[in-house]
């Protein structure tokens, strides 16, 4: 398995390409996104998830084996929960108020969002990374890099009910609850696997950019967004046809991606640019570029408060952006 490819982001781009980005950015309309807070969290914060009902933000800290819990009203960390080694992906089920964390112990930690206590530990595949939840079915989906599989967990029983073979180095995962489709990025295959949530079978494999890492879904427009770390692009896919409809040039080393369905904007964390690209989902154009902390990786948002949360791996902080 070519793990060197999957973690190599340091390919230098030509100077004219950087200039082109600046020129294009100069002609886009200005928006008023501003960083309104910077929160110190654990060591190497990576992925962010939000519970809009409780206004709690959850951040995995890969180097110290903890999950930071942030109060979204006060912009302060209120708890640090020890989980397994090298925690990575995190997702929230707002209906059950359960938080799911993937870690290097090949398990998923299940945390009660009310008490911040671990209430279950679920064995999954080898090197679990991405986590996503379908709240309608109470199913949790976990990408297992070394197993090249997706574990399907029943949230009612906290047990694995199915295992789905996907592509090489499955990394990110996202769910469209309306269509019951699950989307998995295969970093070393440069593809996106589409899974039917009823049958737990792969029904399509879509070619995307170089080193696809993370994926997000706009359920209202049925658009799927994939960050391609080595291409410096965002792939835009039509969920109805499984066809690529646009490729958007973003910053250097795009990693995390999140969607605001209310205003149809997409937010991309560019790890090597220390920025977040803001994209208009109608025009597929960048409308703003926000400077954040050092090494932004994960990004999530609270549509109720219109705040974006960015995990900065190399500054051990979370940037809070008001849209």
- Across the chain, what does the average pLDDT equal? 92
The pLDDT of 228-241, averaged and rounded, is 98
The pLDDT of 106-110, averaged and rounded, is 98
**pLDDT at residue number 323:** 85
The pLDDT of 256-281, averaged and rounded, is 98
Q: For residue 24, what pLDDT band results from cuts at 50, 70 and 90?
A: very low
Checking if the pLDDT of 230 tops 80, the result is yes
CB-CB neighbours of 11 under 10 Å: 14
Percent pLDDT > 90 in the chain is: 89
The encoded tokens of residue 94 equal: 């707002």
Q: What are phi and psi of 206, to 5 degrees?
A: -110, 125
User: pLDDT by residue (tens digit) across 33-84?
Assistant: 889 999 999 999 999 999 999 999 999 999 999 999 999 999 999 999 999 8
The pLDDT of 98-117, averaged and rounded, is 97
**Residues in contact with 66: Cβ distance below 8 Å, sequence separation at least 6, in sequence order:** 42, 80, 81, 82, 83, 87
Range 146-166 burial, b when 16+ CB lie within 10 A, else e: ebbbbbbbebeebebeeebeb
**pLDDT at residue number 12:** 34
Q: Which carries the bigger pLDDT value, residue 114 or residue 7?
A: 114
Q: Which carries the bigger pLDDT value, residue 178 or residue 4?
A: 178
The encoded tokens of residue 49 equal: 């998830």
Checking if the pLDDT of 6 tops 50, the result is no
Q: Give the C-alpha distances (Å, rounded to integers) separating 9 from 213, 306, 315.
A: 11, 30, 18
Checking if the pLDDT of 4 tops 80, the result is no
Q: Give the C-alpha distances (Å, rounded to integers) separating 242 from 69, 208, 236.
A: 36, 11, 10
pTM for the model: 0.91
Q: Give the C-alpha distances (Å, rounded to integers) separating 84 from 74, 109, 118.
A: 28, 7, 11
Q: Do 268 and 286 form a contact (C-beta atoms < 8 A)?
A: no
Checking if the pLDDT of 1 tops 50, the result is no
**pLDDT at residue number 31:** 54
Render 131-191 in DSSP notation, one character per residue.
EEEETTTTEEEEEETTTTEEEEEETTTTEEEEEEE-SSSEEEEEEETTTTEEEEEETTTTE
């Amino acid at each position: 398995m070519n793990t060197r490819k999957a973690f190599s982001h340091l390919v230098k781009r030509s100077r004219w390409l950087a200039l082109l980005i600046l020129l294009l950015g100069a002609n886009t309309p200005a928006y008023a996104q501003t960083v309104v807070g910077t929160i110190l969290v654990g060591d190497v914060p990576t992925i962010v998830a939000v519970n809009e009902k409780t206004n709690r933000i959850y951040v995995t800290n890969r180097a110290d084996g903890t999950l930071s819990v942030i109060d979204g009203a006060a912009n302060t960390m209120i708890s640090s929960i020890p989980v397994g080694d090298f925690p990575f992906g995190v997702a929230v089920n707002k209906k059950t108020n359960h938080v799911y964390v993937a870690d290097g112990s090949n398990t998923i930690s299940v945390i009660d969002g009310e008490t911040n206590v671990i209430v279950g530990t679920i064995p999954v595949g080898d090197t679990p990374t991405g986590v996503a939840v379908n709240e309608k079915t109470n199913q949790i989906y976990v990408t297992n890099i070394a197993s090249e599989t997706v574990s399907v967990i029943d949230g009612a029983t906290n047990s694995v009910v199915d295992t789905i073979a996907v592509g090489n180095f499955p990394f990110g995962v996202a769910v469209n609850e309306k269509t019951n489709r699950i989307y998995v990025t295969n970093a070393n295959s440069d593809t996106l696997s589409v899974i039917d949530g009823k049958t737990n079978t792969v029904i399509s494999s879509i070619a995307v950019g170089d080193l696809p890492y993370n994926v997000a879904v706009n359920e209202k427009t049925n658009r799927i967004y994939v960050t391609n770390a080595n291409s410096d692009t965002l792939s835009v896919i039509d969920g109805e046809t499984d066809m690529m409809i646009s490729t958007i040039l973003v910053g250097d080393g795009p990693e995390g991606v999140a969607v605001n369905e209310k205003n149809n904007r997409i937010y991309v964390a560019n790890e090597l640019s220390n920025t977040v690209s803001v994209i208009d989902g109608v025009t597929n154009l960048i409308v703003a570029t926000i400077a954040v902390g050092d090494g932004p990786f994960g990004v999530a948002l609270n549509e109720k408060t219109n705040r974006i949360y960015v995990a900065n791996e190399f500054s051990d902080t979370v940037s809070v952006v008001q849209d």
